[in-house]
Homo-oligomer: A and B are copies of this chain.
Amino acid sequence: MTDLQSVLLTDLYQLTMLQGYWQEGMDDTAVFELFVRKSPPNRNFLIAAGLEQALDYLENLRFREEECNFLKQSGFFSSQFIDWLANLTFTGDVDAMPEGTVFFPNEPILRVTAPLPQAQLVETRLINLLQFQTLIASKAARCVLAAPDKLLVDFGLRRAHGSEAGLLAARAAYMAGFTGTSNVLAGTAFGIPIFGTMAHSYIMAHDDELAAFRAFAHSQPTNVVLLIDTYDTLKAVDKVISLQAELKRDNITVKAVRIDSGDLAGLAIQVREKLDRAGLQHIGIFASGDLDEYALMRFTRDNIPIDGFGVGTKLTTSSDAPYLNCAYKLQEYAGIPRRKISKGKQTWPGRKQVFRRYDDAGKIEKDTITLIDDPQQGEPLLMPVMKKGKRLQSRAPLTTIRKKVADNLATLPSELQGLEPISQSPVEISSRLIRLARETDKKIGLN
C-alpha cells in the first residue's frame, strides 16, 4: 500500500529546483507566505484550517531509504544530491493564523522562514493540506450561519475525493460548527461525535417496511432514527406512529424520522402534522439529500419544521467552489524582498502581518496587511507556531478551535455573514507595503 504521507507526495519540480539550489550553495534564509489570491464569487470570508496537519507534516519530513532509491533510479538527480536529501529535515520557523481564524484574500495565513531548499520543498503539501481544510471549513461555516441552532451532520465521505479528503472534511466541518459526522474514522482520529442509523438498503432487505423499523428499534434502542422515504413517506409515518405505541412497552422511544428525497420542505410539514396529531411532538425530523447552505437558508427562512440536516456531497466537495485560488510565494530571500509580477499573479513582497481592528460592537472594521516591522492598531493575526522545526504550542483540542470559529463568525459584519456575495472585503494594504512593492519592482528593473 502506498504511504500517503510520503515526502514524495510533492511536485517533481520541487526536487529539481532543490538540486539546483544545492549545487549553487543557495541555502540562505527564504521567506514564503501562503495566501488566497481571490475568493470564489460565493465566499465573503474564509476560515483558516489545516495547520495541525501542516505542522505534523513539517515535523515528520524525511527522505527514507526507499524514497531515495526511487529518486536515484528516476534519472533526474545526482547521487551526491540524494545523499544530501537523505539527511534533510525541516529546521525552520512557521508563523500562522491559528486554525479557525476568519480571513480574507491577500492576507498571509502562514509564513515559512527557513533555508531556501527546505522552504521550497514543502510548498506542494502545505498548499494541499491548507487549501482543502480551509475550503471545507469555509463552506461548512456558511451552512452553520444559514441554519443556526440546527443539528448539522457531515454525510459526505462517500463522494469526498478519496480517504484523506473524507477524513479532513469531517474535521473542518466540525471545527466550523457542525454537530458531528457520519465518518467513523473521523470519530476515532479526532474525537468528533459520530451519527448514523440506516440506509434504504436496510428497509429494502426486509420484506416489510414496518418489520425493518421494528427490528432496527430493538437493535439500536437508544438511537432510533427511522428512514421513511424508501417507498411512500406519509404511509411510513403512519407505521412509525403505530410502532411507537408498541415500543412504549419496551421503553423504547423513536428519536427522529429521516427524509432523504422528494420535496423535503413539503414532506416535513406533513410529517410534522401527522406526528403532532399523534401526540409525538418528541419525534424529530431529520432531512438529507442534495443539501447545501442555500437549501438550509430557505428552510430557515420558511420555518420548515426540520430539526437536523445531513449535508453531504456539496459540503465535502465544496461543489460550488471546489478549490481556492491560493499560492505559496517567495517573499524574501537572503534578506532581499522578492516579488512576482506575472500578469494577474502579482504578490506583495516582504514578511507580513495582518492587523485586525473591531468597531464598538465587536465587528471587524478593517484588516491592514503590512510588514512585520510596521505595527498597526489592532490585533495581529499571525503568531509563531513553530521554531527550528519544533511546534511551540501543544495541539489545540478541536473543541477549542470550534469555539474560536464561533467567536470569529460573530465578529463578521452581517453583510459578510450572509450568503449573498459582497464585492468588497474589509482589507487595506499599508502604505509601507505599497512602497516596498514599488521599490522591489525598480530593483528588478521593471518600473
**A→B interface (CB under 8 Å):** 1-2, 4-6, 8-17, 19-21, 23-24, 26, 30, 32, 56, 60, 67, 70-71, 74, 76, 116, 120, 123-125, 127-129, 131-132, 155, 157-169, 182-185, 187-189, 194-202, 204-207, 215-216, 218-220, 223, 229-232, 260-263, 313, 317-319, 322-324, 326, 329-330, 333, 336, 338-345, 444, 446
Contact = CB atoms under 8 A, between A and B. Distances in A.
Given A322-B322, A344-B262, A16 B131 contact: no
A124 B186 CA distance: 14
A196 B15 contact: yes
Contact of A205 (B5, B318, B338): B338
A198 B132 contact: no
A215 B70 contact: no
Given A232-B446, A342-B260, A343-B262, A159 B128 contact: yes
Given A13-B196, A20-B198, A131 B159 contact: yes
Q: Quick one: which of A23, A205, A446 has the most chain B CB within 10 A?
A: A205
Q: Quick one: which of A166, A204, A223 has the most chain B CB within 10 A?
A: A204
Contacts of A185: 2, 6, 8-10
Contact of A13 (B26, B160, B161, B182): B182
B323 A317 contact: yes
Contacts of A17: 198-199, 201-202, 216
Nearest to A22: B219
Given A17-B199, A24-B215, A129-B162, 5 more contacts: A15-B196, A120-B202, A132-B161, A204-B339, A261-B343
A162 B128 contact: yes
Task: Kindly list the 10 A-B residue pairs having the minimum CB-CB distance in the complex, ordered from nearest.
Answer: A12-B196, A162-B164, A13-B196, A161-B161, A161-B165, A261-B342, A262-B343, A322-B322, A201-B330, A4-B163
Contacts of A24: 215, 219
A2 B1 CA distance: 14
A204 to B, nearest CB: 4
B16 A220 contact: yes
B330 A205 contact: yes
A194 to B, nearest CB: 5
A351 B14 CA distance: 49
Contact of A158 (B11, B162, B260): B11
A160 to B, nearest CB: 6
A183 B11 contact: yes
A8 B74 CA distance: 36
A126 to B, nearest CB: 9
B8 A204 contact: no
Contact of A164 (B23, B125, B163, B195): B163
B128 A167 contact: no
B56 A1 contact: yes
Contact of A182 (B11, B197, B229): B11
A23 B162 contact: no
Nearest to A9: B185
A277 to B, nearest CB: 24
A268 B248 CA distance: 76
A342 B200 contact: yes
Contact of A157 (B128, B194, B215, B216): B128
A11 B216 contact: no
Given A17-B202, A187-B74, A341 B194 contact: no
A41 to B, nearest CB: 13
A16 B340 CA distance: 54
Contact of A12 (B124, B169, B182): B182
Contacts of A201: 17, 30, 32, 120, 123, 329-330
B163 A9 contact: yes
Given A127-B159, A161-B162, A9 B167 contact: yes
A340 B200 contact: yes
A289 to B, nearest CB: 8
A58 to B, nearest CB: 14
